[in-house]
Amino acid sequence: MDSIVVNGEYIVYHQYDGSITTLNWTGEVIYVTEAPTGISRGGLQCFGDFLVTGGDEKPLSVYNVHSGKLLHKVLHRPSRIEYLFIHETKIICIGRDEPAVLIGYW
């Protein structure tokens, strides 16, 4: 496991093989989805109904946190995504090689 995030309903973690596993608080697996993001590092966040991932492979992926359905995938920066911050209308991506990138989203 390289990244984990929790919210009121789920425990979501990203494996080194690129898969994302979502559990409920009793430990039942809700879904496992493939996410070719490379190692996620800190690029895994939940916000409302959304799960956002980013990693070494550079795309920013947005999933429905309840179903695991991929909603959007954006290849938006030339370096890997190491950290994400999510707000109601913005996603801030931070990579090692560049200044932070602000993305207007919703």
**Coil/strand/helix, residue 71:** strand
What b-and-e string marks burial along 79-101, b requiring 16 or more CB atoms within 10 Å of the CB?
ebbbbbebeeeebebbbeeeeee
Position 33 pLDDT exceeds 60: yes
Terminal alpha carbon distance of the chain = 29
Q: Which of the four pLDDT bands, split at 50, 70 and 90, describes residue 39?
A: low
**How many domains does one find in the chain?**
1
CATH number of the domain enclosing 20: 2.40.128.630
| The pLDDT of residue 3 | 79
Residue span of the structural domain in which 56 resides: 3-104
Question: Using one digit for the tens of pLDDT, what is the confidence trace for 53-85?
Answer: 876 666 778 889 999 998 888 766 556 677 777
